Amino acid sequence: SSSMEEEEEKDEEGEEYHLELLKLMYAITHLSEIYLLQRPSSTSTSLLGGSDMDTPGSVTSDTVRYLRLHHMTSPYDDFQEEEENTSSKEDVIEEMLSSSQPEYYPNDLYWKLLRKLTLRGCLEDVWAIVSRHSACRRCVATMDKEEEGGGEYYDTIKQDRDAFAILHALLISAPLPGGRNDALDDCLGTIKQEEEEAEEMLMEGITTTSYKLWDQDVTNDDDVDDDGNKNTKVLPTTNRFNPHLASSLHKHWMDSVRNAVSSPPLSQLCKRIPRLYRDVLSIILGESTSLSASVVENADSWSEALASELLYQRPHLRPSDVHVRSARHMEQFGVLKRKSDDESSNSGGFEEIVLSVMKGNAGRVVEALHDLGGGSGAALPATMTALLCNLLTEANQIQPSISSTTESFNIQTELLLLASHSILSSFSTQNHSEVGVRLATRLLLPFAFPPTPSFSSKKDDSSFLRITHQLATILDTHMPNNDADTKHLLKLVTPLIV
């Protein structure tokens, strides 16, 4: 019995380990899409001239979403850690927010949550939490009451009501890169059909959809369905990527925040509720003796510090400078150690990979994916590595062929062949060899025969021959189980033989 439990525990640990490796590969792939793979719709030129990779702010939105998704911990983790006897942290949050004075909840969880959400740029959630403050509730509760005769009490409530209205407009109108919530952080550039977002103007000159000006245009060119048929779809957008206008609106918004904080009634509210300023507004304003001191003081990790800087202080940062700021924050949080030659040495491997990708080192991406599981023989990691290598090759980010006096090595071909072997082996061990054959065939098919002269020129003939030979071997040794499987395979390979 004990041996079985030990085996189950080892299996669980193994699954968790491999899941963590896949998460790291996913993160590298996501970051590569931002810094190495150009957008099909808007990367050739920008509104300021030059390529997007030279345009200030062109990757800020995607970088913020990447940091929130892959590096920053959930703002609700503190509830789980500090309320060990509670089965659901959602219940703890609801209990806190439903209390008459959530701001006095034990362990400062109310204010910790506000600080975390502000660092992430989730200002819609920030307002939702602020609106549950007892002072804000009191303003709402007395809104319909006749206040004849006035008095100091009602004057204070009226002033607070005006202050919360100003704060609401500031938070809900914020034109932040990456948006005011993290709902779309996992989209990886794919099109998500959303309900039409209502556009409001709560502040002069800034609408609630102005944050979209930081986002690259979204298209889905040359989309391919399950049968290999192409269809072109373009998602209409009301806001086009416009870094100049986005920066201008962001500056206008920041100026409005500063003016509101220094003027009544918001300044009076912050005096009565000092933590509202400390845990929300001071983070937005980045107020301290220096920017670096401010973000380090407020943030718990380099990713929080970088995200906060990109959201509020430097949204217009050039893509070529992001790795410099990232390295600086990593050093401040002890992730990287400084070297005498002003370069950062690695004390944590994944952060070094992140910096390499931000610098545009595509070769390091393939190497990292291979080390994290792409060369392990597992189907999914091997396929991810091969496909990303192909995308980087097509984007001219890496040269697939390495020639010497004795031999020629094509990494793109080698990774594709390795992935096909991994797929066949993985599905065969699960008694689903027919699925493995279909997937391996679909993987190799685009490379087995040059569809166009321009595509053919990018690869040497020996690579096509090797892939075609592998594909022929797979099909030659496979016996379809039924007519449907046979028809599907024939449909896939028909273009090669007609």
Say what angle helices 379-394 and 362-369 make with each other, to 10 degrees: 170
pLDDT at site 297: 67
Assigned domain for 14 exists: no
Same domain, 130 and 252: yes
Same domain? 51 vs 182: yes
The pLDDT confidence band at residue 115, using thresholds 50, 70 and 90, is very high
DSSP structure string for 14-64:
HHHHHHHHHHHHHHHHHHHHHHTS--TTTSS--TTSS-GGGSTTTTHHHHH
Provide the CB-side half-sphere exposure for 208 (13 A, CA).
14
Average pLDDT, integer, range 423-445: 92
Range of the domain at 165: 38-188+200-317
Decide the pairing of beta strands 344-346 and 336-338.
antiparallel
* Structure tokens, 120: 């992430």
Query: Which range in 212-221, 363-372, 406-415 is most confidently predicted, on average pLDDT?
Result: 363-372
Is the per-residue pLDDT at 12 higher than 90?
no
- Say whether both 351 and 398 belong to one domain: no
pLDDT band at 252 (very low <50, low <70, confident <90, very high): very high
Which is more confident, 407 or 233?
Answer: 407
Total of domains in the chain: 3
pLDDT band at 66 (very low <50, low <70, confident <90, very high): very high
Calculate what percentage of the chain has a pLDDT beyond 70: 77
pLDDT at site 236:
40
* Domain co-membership, 230 together with 305: yes
Tell me: do 263 and 124 sit in the same domain. Answer: yes
Query: Rounded to whole angstroms, how far apart are CA atoms 294 and 311?
Result: 14
Q: How confident is the model at residue 343 (pLDDT cuts 50, 70, 90)?
A: very low
> Is 11 contained in some domain?
no
- Work out the pLDDT band at 342, boundaries 50, 70, 90: very low
**Range of 83-87, 103-107, 464-468 with top mean pLDDT:** 103-107
254 plus 344 within the same structural domain: no
**195 located within any domain:** no
Residue 48 domain-assigned (yes or no): yes
- Better pLDDT: 452 or 186: 186
Q: How many whole angstroms separate alpha carbon 446 and alpha carbon 429?
A: 26
- Same domain? For 285 and 337 the reply is no
In this prediction, residue 357 has a pLDDT band, given cuts at 50, 70 and 90, of very high
Which two structure tokens, joined as six digits, stand for 179?
Answer: 């948006």
* Residue 32 located in a structural domain: no
Question: Which residue in this structure is represented by tokens 């991406």?
Answer: 365
pLDDT top residue among 99 and 481: 99
Q: What is the per-residue pLDDT for 290?
A: 44
Mean pLDDT of 231-254: 74
What residue type is assigned to position 7 of the chain?
A: E
Taking residues 276-297, report their average pLDDT: 75
- Looking at the fold, whether 301 and 431 belong to one and the same domain comes out as no
Is 323 contained in some domain? no
pLDDT above 80 for 143: no
Cα separation, 301 vs 61, whole angstroms: 19
Q: Residue 153: its pLDDT value, please? A: 77
Q: Does pLDDT of 301 surpass 70?
A: yes
Tokens standing for 88?
């659901």
Residue 344 pLDDT: 44
Extended beta strands in 225-280, E state: 230-234
More confident residue, 204 or 257: 257
Q: Does one domain contain both 277 and 338?
A: no
For residue 48, pLDDT over 50 is answered with no
250 and 348 both lie in a single domain: no
Identify the pLDDT of residue 91. 83
| 350, two tokens | 């994944």
**pLDDT band with cut points at 50, 70 and 90 for residue 9:** confident
Structure tokens at 225: 């369905």
Q: Kindly state whether residue 29 falls inside one of the protein's structural domains.
A: no
Same domain, 347 and 394: no
Q: Are residues 289 and 344 in the same domain?
A: no
The pLDDT of residue 90 is: 81
Taking phi first (over 0 means left), then psi (-120 to 50 degrees means alpha), and beta for anything else, what does residue 234 get? beta
Q: For residue 23, is it within any domain?
A: no
Give the pLDDT score at 213. 94
> What does the pLDDT read at residue 4?
72
**pLDDT for res 450:** 63
pTM: 0.85
Rg value, the chain, Cα = 27
Segment 317-324 shows an average pLDDT of: 96
38: confidence class by pLDDT, cuts 50, 70, 90: low
